[in-house]
Amino acid sequence: MKKLTVFTYFFVLILFSFSLLVCADEGYYYDEVGLINDRQIIHLTNTLRDFEKKRDAKLMIVVVNTTGNKTPVGFAFDHLFNTVGNTGNGIILLLAINEGKVVIDTRGSASKALTDQRADILFDLILYEHFVSGDYYNGFLSFIDMCDGYFAISHNDHAYSSIDSEISDTGSSISSMDNETDDNSFLHLCLISLGIGIAAAIITVLILRGQLKSVKKAKNASVYVNHGSFLLTEKRDVFLYSTITKIPRPQSNSSKSRKY
């Protein structure tokens, strides 16, 4: 009996370890540093797997000590590309501990759900609410919840899961921010359309008005130039001076990174 108990215990331990390995091999959560414990890893992995099944997009959380020769942005890009490929859908949350950087990168349909504005909101909420205080586990869960919420919004999915209740406060603020963002986009569309309409109308009436005016002074006497009389006898281009101006380069749009 005791042997059976021990055997069973080891068997379960092996299975548990194997499940960890499987989880690790599945690539949902990779942690070099050990920010969360094993139980949290399992729960987190299951949540990430559920997310992939539900949203058809792989959500990965990667924690490394250093990104080595690559920049954190480049590391995140390569990891995501190698995992989901050129045509896949995915999101990666990378924590580079030594560099002190957090990077979010997206691929495929996830780019549509997790826009730059939404990524900024995520940074503000998970970084300053959780990571700064060392609460990585809840920070990761909040990240998954909010990504799920954004996918739901982008697919107009009104049947939210129970995760919604956890993000109801943040979700409502996100959705209200999103509503504001959507309202702003609609306003921009209207303004651009009206601007183009006004420009087209002005050009049209100027052309029609120009038809009524046919009396104007001659600009020059080019019609009376003798053909073949033009002769260029001197042509000199003299350099006078030059000026140099510089402007800062704009940031890249596909990846977002923050220091914390």
Among 34, 158, 230, 253, binds other proteins (CB under 8 A): 230
Distance (Å, rounded) from C-alpha 69 to C-alpha 75? 9
Determine if 251 is a binding residue for other proteins (CB under 8 A).
no
Among 242, 251, 252, 253, binds other proteins (CB under 8 A): 242
Distance (Å, rounded) from C-alpha 27 to C-alpha 36? 16
Q: 148: how many CB neighbours lie within 10 A of its CB?
A: 24
Nearer to other proteins, 3 or 236 (CB): 236
Determine if 221 is a binding residue for other proteins (CB under 8 A).
yes
Determine if 187 is a binding residue for other proteins (CB under 8 A).
no
Window contacting other proteins (CB under 8 A); options: 17-25, 43-51, 74-82, 219-227: 219-227
One character per residue 137-176, x = contact with other proteins (rule: CB under 8 A): ----------------------------------------
Q: Mention every residue, 6+ apart, whose C-beta is less than 8 A from residue 49.
A: 26, 28
Tokens of 97: 């501990």
Distance (Å, rounded) from C-alpha 120 to C-alpha 135? 19
Distance (Å, rounded) from C-alpha 200 to C-alpha 183? 26
Interface with other proteins in residues 11-50 (CB under 8 A): none
Q: Are 84 and 107 in contact (CB under 8 A)?
A: yes
Nearer to other proteins, 132 or 194 (CB): 194
Which whole-number Å values give the CA distances from 117 to 25, 122, 253, in the listed order?
32, 9, 11
Window contacting other proteins (CB under 8 A); options: 26-34, 127-135, 173-181, 202-210: 202-210
Nearer to other proteins, 5 or 220 (CB): 220
Distance (Å, rounded) from C-alpha 148 to C-alpha 157? 10
Distance (Å, rounded) from C-alpha 149 to C-alpha 121? 13
Nearest distance from C-beta of residue 64 to other proteins, angstroms: 24
Among 37, 39, 212, 251, binds other proteins (CB under 8 A): 212
Determine if 205 is a binding residue for other proteins (CB under 8 A).
yes
Among 201, 254, 259, 260, binds other proteins (CB under 8 A): 201
Residue type, 4: L
Task: Name the site residues for other proteins (rule: CB under 8 A).
Answer: 185, 189-190, 192-194, 196-198, 200-202, 204-205, 208-209, 211-226, 229-249
